[in-house]
A and B are shown apart, each in its own frame.
Chain A
Amino acid sequence: MSNSHLVELNDVDKVFHTRHFFFKDEDTARRRLYAKRVVHAVDRVTFGIRHGEIFGLLGPNGAGKTTTVKMISGLVRPSSGDVFVDGLHVERKRLKVLRKVGVVLEGTRTCVWPLTPLENLAYFGNLKDVKGSILKQRARELLIFMGLKDKMNVQVRKLSRGEKQKLAICIALIADPPVILLDEPTTGLDVQTSRVIKDKIVQMTREQGKCVLVTTHDMHVAQELCDRIGIINMGQLVACKPTEELLSLFFDLTYEFHLDRLPDSDALADLPGVLEVEPARHEDGPVLVLRLQPELAQRSEALYTVTGRLREQGVLLRAIIQRQASLESVFLHLTTSPVDLPKVALTQPSGAEVR
């Protein structure tokens, strides 16, 4: 275990056993009396988050993001593996760990609606052992920080969704925990509110050195916000890299060949170093999109061979453009066709490298 990580997950596994009575089996379309199912929600996940770092956990629905967050916060018990927060084992020192973690879970009622934001913070502050004048001062500071100064004394039920979400973040921060877990913090919010929340997350991470884990579906949020990104699919961590590094892996690989006409793409697909060939049509003419091997020598050879083949077929080459990778394309590649990917470059079995 490393001291530099505030949050650490070592080989964490979560298997849910569910029982179903009187249901229709979707596979066989038959009615069944009883069945047991095993769902592998999280499969041997290992990663760590450092002080002052924003870590993004991305994945499709049901990938295991929320279960991971819940295991860090002690809401769900891992089937195997260890979770540490600030060096404390979550299962063995759960109540101590809860003093170090602030959580905002998606889609849950995190505040008491008949109370005002100030009263909510007083209530949750007391629940989290924050007392007296410190509590009052911190509550006011947080509400001002989150832009809720004018809404301090308005009942929560009268606040907008974005304001409620800001208050939920304030509640998570009231005990000044070093670790903040945000499950889909910007889902369902308008662009402006989403922007404000993103800025506030960055600000508190940089200024106060907090360690933040964000789960999100929004690739733009992750790309703008996160220092590092882990992509989880079907319970497995398929990638875990600094954001720039993750993007650069794909940045180098995809090339657009702008041509006067489309060649026989099947002939190009079998060439060494070429992973994928996709003909497309842009406004300015036909384009051949090629994904190449990551290794430089193979990629260089592939580029020479492809241009040679195009010349042989008499195709005029207008331009070769290296495609800018977005996190969205990286995410789609990783979560839809993981077989073709350079897995070794993305995750290593030893936790230290992945982190």
Chain B
Amino acid sequence: MGFLLVLKAELVRAFIIMRRYWFATLTSIIIGYGVLLMLILTFFYNRSEIQGWADKTIGENATNWALGFIVGMFAFGIVGLFSQGLQGMARSGELEQVYMSPHGLITNFLARSFVASVSSILSSALMLWLIALSVKGKLHADFGPTLVLLALTYLNLIGFGFMVGGLVLVFKQTGQIAILIRTALIFLAIFATKDVENWWLPARLLAHILPITDAAICLKMVLIEGIGTDVFAQDSFWFLIISSAIWTFLGISCFKIMENWSRDKGTLGAY
């Protein structure tokens, strides 16, 4: 019940801000689309291929790449909410205000990250669809498996985010290191394929531990390859479930411990 109230508050706040700054919201989608298309053109097409715009294979590859990039950016945004976002809140004093809500910091951040995820997924979906149309790629709209995968990806990311956020609460400079980790997540999301299983064992383990690899692989299989519910039989899907459970448990536990430590050190409202 408490979570729903906080969620309502966050949804209303985000909606009002989005509506009030509709022009900024719209331009950010257009700029995102433009930048992404430009990157695709740079990486996938040479001059002659641009002229042969309708090449199907290139279109699919580009969509695949764009999907990876968007999933990576989603991870970048959600983990950022817990690192740079939390740092900013500590700096402005907003963190202390949120902390004084009787629902606790974890509930508040769950609601915040949920709202941020929904708005990010909606704008990303629009952008991805526009990109696929532009490069003549193909997207399979399997809503059921996609929603399940997005929910697991969200859990995975907030678990990881809570872990980073907990560290940022006590060691504020961790936020700078988090930028590197967030960038690594983008690259991992772009280049993650089923081939991960052929990687060198330590690299393979690391890829499965990091919260975005299996999520990106599964989403690509559903949205690009169109395997639909068959994704639930894939190894990556099970890795995704396991890592979601582990990250969520670890993240929230770590955040709770760090929250108390931060109150001890008096760093909750300090940067």
Contacts and interface: CB of A to CB of B under 8 A. Distances in A.
Interface stretch (A67-75, A223-231, A267-275): A67-75
A271 to B, nearest CB: 49
Given A76-B263, A105-B269, A123-B9, A110 B101 contact: no
Interface residues of B, number: 31
Interface stretch (A50-58, A92-100, A310-318): A92-100
A110 B102 contact: no
A333 B260 CA distance: 38
A99 B263 contact: no
B177 interface: no
Contacts of A171: 97
Given A16-B265, A75-B100, A126 B93 contact: no
Given A75-B96, A75-B99, A129-B5, A122 B264 contact: no
Contacts of A127: 5-6, 9, 98, 101, 103, 108
Interface in B185-210: none
A119 interface: yes
A122 B9 CA distance: 8
Contact of B93 (A67, A74, A105, A155): A105
Interface of A: 14, 16-17, 41, 67, 70, 73-77, 95-96, 98-99, 101, 103, 105, 107-110, 112, 114-115, 119, 122-124, 126-129, 131, 155, 171
B133 interface: no
Interface stretch (B10-18, B29-37, B141-149, B238-246): B10-18
B185 to A, nearest CB: 29
A126 B5 contact: yes
Contacts of A124: 9, 97, 101
B63 to A, nearest CB: 35
Given A108-B92, A128-B101, A114 B266 contact: no
Chain B contact surface mostly: helix
Given A109-B93, A110-B97, A115-B16, A126 B9 contact: yes
Nearest to B97: A110
A103 B9 CA distance: 20
A179 to B, nearest CB: 12
A101 B97 CA distance: 12
Contacts of B260: 77
Contacts of A77: 260, 263-264
Contact of B104 (A95, A101, A128): A95
Contacts of B20: 114, 155
23 contacts: A16-B266, A41-B266, A70-B269, A74-B263, A75-B96, A76-B263, A95-B104, A105-B96, A105-B269, A108-B97, A109-B97, A110-B93, A112-B94, A115-B16, A119-B12, A119-B13, A122-B12, A124-B9, A126-B6, A127-B6, A127-B9, A127-B103, A129-B102
Nearest to A106: B93
B21 interface: yes
Given A123-B9, A126-B8, A108 B263 contact: no
Contacts of A108: 92-94, 96-97, 269
A115 B263 CA distance: 29
A131 B1 CA distance: 12
B268 interface: yes
A114 B12 CA distance: 13
Contacts of B108: 127
A171 B94 CA distance: 13
Contacts of B102: 95-96, 98-99, 128-129
Q: Which of A95, A107, A171 has the most CB atoms of chain B within a 10 A radius of its CB?
A: A95
B94 A109 contact: yes
Q: Which of B2, B92, B96, B260 has the most CB atoms of chain A within a 10 A radius of its CB?
A: B96
B266 A76 contact: yes
Q: Which of B12, B17, B266 has the most CB atoms of chain A within a 10 A radius of its CB?
A: B266
Given A98-B101, A119-B16, A123-B13, A75 B93 contact: no
Q: Which of B5, B13, B16, B97 has the most CB atoms of chain A within a 10 A radius of its CB?
A: B97
Contact of B263 (A41, A75, A107, A131): A75
B2 A129 contact: yes
B2 A115 contact: no
A101 B12 CA distance: 25
Contacts of B265: 16-17
The 10 tightest CB contacts between A and B, nearest first, are A108-B93, A126-B9, A127-B101, A109-B92, A98-B102, A77-B263, A99-B102, A76-B266, A109-B93, A95-B102
